[in-house]
Chain A
């Protein structure tokens, strides 16, 4: 293999040799190389295959816009697909694979698509796979999906870490070329906090790629001087390897810093990438300009590249794109490539200039004026060119320059559109205000002196701008050069998606004149490079085809992200267990010791049942119910929301929140409360206790705890700000357990301090401050959800496990059992208590049989709207009990209720079952349902129709209280 490494020059460290593998083959390069430059230096020009035609491809660019040289970088969990070889810093041990080829890059069967390419015109898929319709889903789409796609994602977990970080600054400078360096220097000298970000591994921008002279030294030396000054200043942060990918509201910029993409693996305590959110008082976009390709036949054959890229490979990386070069240009910058290549000792066959004349210096290279390249010959490498006058020239590399497009992307991320500038032949950024200034060639200022001056002006925050260094400007004159129509071969516009110049007039003829439609019809600009290279050519060709100006056609929409950002960077450290917290109750350890099976309820882990050997969940829950109802059981109810409410107006505040009244509640008592939404529908329920004249503690359902808290804050601060009240969530501060069953009092009695428990000292609905176990502060509530004689005991969270264990011990002689939320739920259905299934955002207090709770003596949230006609209609669905006619039949939640004799259909729907349990007390399925006019229908036999599961049985509507209707057990 011939070496294409230039004997001297370049910013590579020739003393450091790095080994790497491409498609399994070993190569060497130097520190400072990219994967692309190292491959070129090794004579490897074929780096990938195109998307549709599987055409052999090499690099087109030397930077972020690269559409062709996409590789799978690294292996295993670290594999990253569609990575641009032009942006990958070479490191020792790097491995990369080419994509979109089978069986090999050199011989790819998919390339047969190219032979039948007349079929693959724009809109091919839409036109071809229309018929027969049924074939699309089963046959066409799967085949297309398999053929399409570039790299493949790894199925292994990414072993590396990612971080997220915030940064604040007075001035963010994006791009570290001449404009960016001057802007950063100006701002830094005026004392502002400056961040200078650049996507490259090394700061300096175009000064690294070009041979310039500034202030009597080389551009590179000048840049190094500025960078040294900046890096010594404490108010400056330099961020190489950081791509600013988006501009957002509030002058916030998103950036991704590739902290460790340039090493084999990050060290243990370092992230691979860091996602930055930069809040900038002011920002300067100094992203420079992007050179455009030209559409001529075979403009994709490996060896054809942008003229500036060829210079960069030679000047920065000391890699020659070929041994004999032809430059094709319609502007003066192409001449620099000819001169630079010649200076590096590479033969330059000719400059082909589409224009009649120019002042640019050809450096002694022959210039063919008024000529264009029509076609490039070669397959996997360039062998020569044919001009539009049929002249043939032999060469092995072609440098092309269609002109320059300012990189305006970020300035357009919030909706502003760029406008066409006829002098520079490029779209320039709109004015987006004083906080984000586009400067230098990103603003269409194409001369070095303009860039330096523009940067200094944009970066000066106060005082005088720094002196502008002296430099010599290269000529910049440009004529339109989009498409050579004499081309015989395919002239590519969007390389990655294989859209060709002819596709655009075709799209226009078929009615897709709008650029956004033409984009989607031809797929131009839809690849991973998002049209960075091809879009302006596409717009120009479409403008010509439709007789419109560039501005009339306009650009497609610029959106973040400027270049692809890995998901890992967005996720940051919030993966796996760090994705969301796990909330464990203060009684978690106690429940775990007793073998609880936990269930996730929101973020909470709740003890669900406590199985014994051989029991399934139903057997366990049923046993827990029976034991509790016969003897005594204990259940963790700590997840209920608990809010401490204090202040002179605490009672008045609760009166506004709940539909029933709390200001009249006696100290030492609890009351069930029902909260409505302002539209009159039930919101939440729970018991609230009055511990002192100005002190209440309220409970909410587990699910609504946070929402109720926010609602209270709104009600107090926005609606009733004059109330003297304060409140705080104490959900996490208290461990709360329900102790239920005929032996509950006897059990608790054994651990309370100095209190003889009876119906006088602890009456039904009592709420008392007590102490247990010789001084542990506690709150004792005589409440019952199970319908048994029952209590809830709350102790400070850290005492929870200890007190629960003590209760287990105290209750041992009575045969106490722990019970979980399944048993709790069975018991509440047996007692007809409403819960989540019934408080479902559609039911009113009256629907739930709680209409009497609604006070008529006070204002409360939801009062007036609850009185609307539709909400008081007697035909509304209301809560009833439901049972199967035959005790052996099963009924299920979600089944619909139909009148006997009606045909099963939703048109005949009378309501549906909201909760079901198998009752061990009644030994049958029982449920609660919402049924139209249900309270008047107790005893009616109905159809229970489960259309989803294809199941229908007879059921009977009954009172919602299935068990112990007289509440004898409650007061026992």
Chain B
């Protein structure tokens, strides 16, 4: 599998470390009443068949955190952006 890092170009998958679902959003509240949201954020992850956005770390390269869009059934990679840009596209992060 190959991943096109926005900084380093197309690199083999061995250079990357996978974290998982990038659709989750860290809650902004620190109030104990937000515990449900936090629980979902920390523990609940989707595992869909098909297109999936996930965090990967270019740990053996530029060390940027990236978000790749991958088909979990075929491993086709549709795109790769930095986690920073992904966060902006998601409408801001905490």
State the A residues within 8 Å of B (CB): 248-250, 252, 277, 279, 678-679, 710, 713-714, 717-721, 859, 863-865, 867-868
Contacts and interface: CB of A to CB of B under 8 A. Distances in A.
Contact of B59 (A710, A720, A859, A863): A710
B75 A249 contact: yes
5 contacts: A678-B42, A713-B65, A714-B57, A720-B93, A864-B32
Interface string B18-29: 010000001111
A670 to B, nearest CB: 27
Contacts of B75: 249-250
Contacts of A720: 93-94
Contacts of A718: 55, 65, 83-84, 86-87, 93
B3 to A, nearest CB: 9
B38 to A, nearest CB: 5
Contacts of B93: 718-721
In the complex, the 4 A-B pairs of residues with the closest C-beta atoms, listed nearest first: A249-B75, A718-B83, A249-B1, A250-B2
Chain B interface size, as a band, is: 35 or more
B35 interface: yes
A864 B1 contact: no
A424 B84 CA distance: 56
B1 A717 contact: no
B30 interface: yes
B-side interface mostly:
mixed
Given A249-B75, A250-B2, A719 B94 contact: yes
A863 B35 CA distance: 11
Contacts of B87: 718, 721
A867 B42 CA distance: 14
Nearest to B19: A714
A717 B17 contact: no
Nearest to A864: B38
Interface in B26-51: 26-32, 34-35, 38-39, 41-43
A-side interface mostly:
mixed
A679 B82 CA distance: 25
Contacts, number: 73
Given A249-B75, A717-B65, A718-B65, A865 B57 contact: no
A717 B82 contact: yes
Contacts of A863: 30
A72 B74 CA distance: 40
Contact of B84 (A249, A679, A721, A865): A721
A719 B27 CA distance: 10
A279 B42 CA distance: 37
A521 B35 CA distance: 54
Contacts of B13: 249-250
Contacts of B68: none
Contacts of A865: 35, 38-39, 42
Contact of B57 (A250, A713, A859): A713
Nearest to A714: B65
Contacts of B26: 719
Contacts of A864: 27, 29-32, 34-35, 38
Contact of A859 (B19, B30, B42, B84): B30
Nearest to A678: B42
A717 B59 contact: no
A904 B49 CA distance: 49
Given A713-B63, A714-B65, 20 more contacts: A249-B74, A250-B2, A250-B77, A678-B42, A710-B59, A713-B57, A713-B64, A714-B83, A717-B82, A718-B65, A718-B87, A719-B94, A721-B84, A721-B87, A721-B88, A859-B30, A859-B94, A864-B31, A865-B35, A868-B35
B6 to A, nearest CB: 12
B2 A279 contact: yes
